[in-house]
Structure 1
């Protein structure tokens, strides 16, 4: 299956380089020998303007298996990322990465879905108790925590 996965990931990279959303980054990791690792991508997702997430550029890692695209990739933020649908280890709980996975879903769609999830958590699928409880019961405190987190992942202006 790895031949199929490598072919698809090579196409995903070409497509991303030609057309990706403004402010987003996604590229395969570099191995110690300098070669490209298409099975591990380092990405960043900007917080949407007008939300508590704005001003942040959030790192996301995508791990593709040799069963990709039949099997969804694992996507994660850094550990202890504050969000109701992110596990303590950073793994993202999102329907398109689970039960709603389809082999036709692209890297672009995955990253846009994660961006949407930031500001519209799914209270029916909590992965983190503290963030979930604040989101459901104390919206102001939740927003403050999100804004604090945005400051830990600032968008750096390019010179």
Structure 2
């Protein structure tokens, strides 16, 4: 799974790649994992960042040191991705 380059989130690499154990062959990937489980895992990660697995320093630092500012930045970013109509 990949987001736009520069997507602001502690667990998304600057390249847009998601840092999630079930997507990593060496950590948690199993052939029995369903697409639904992957999508739910990504959704959970977006809602609840994992500070123990940072992939992006700016977002991680803001998330861990100034949660209010982090949430403000996330809200600002969400305006670039409106829901489909």
Same fold, TM exceeding 0.5?
yes
Alignment gaps of 5+ in structure 1: 1-74
Q: Which of residues 18, 43, 52 is equivalent to 1:92?
A: 18
Runs in 1 of length 4+ with deviation above 3 angstroms?
none
Bigger relative contact order, structure 1 or 2 (CA pairs below 8 A, ≥6 apart) = 2
Match of 2:5 in 1: 79
1:119 shift after superposition: 1.3
RMSD: 0.8
Specify the SS of the correspondent of 1:149.
helix
Q: TM-score, normalised by structure 1?
A: 0.51
Match of 1:39 in 2: none
How does 1:111-150 map onto structure 2 within 5 Å?
Answer: 111-150=39-78
**Bigger strand fraction:** 1
Report Cα offsets for 1:66-102 as digits up to 9, x if no partner.
Answer: xxxxxxxxx2111100000010100000011120111
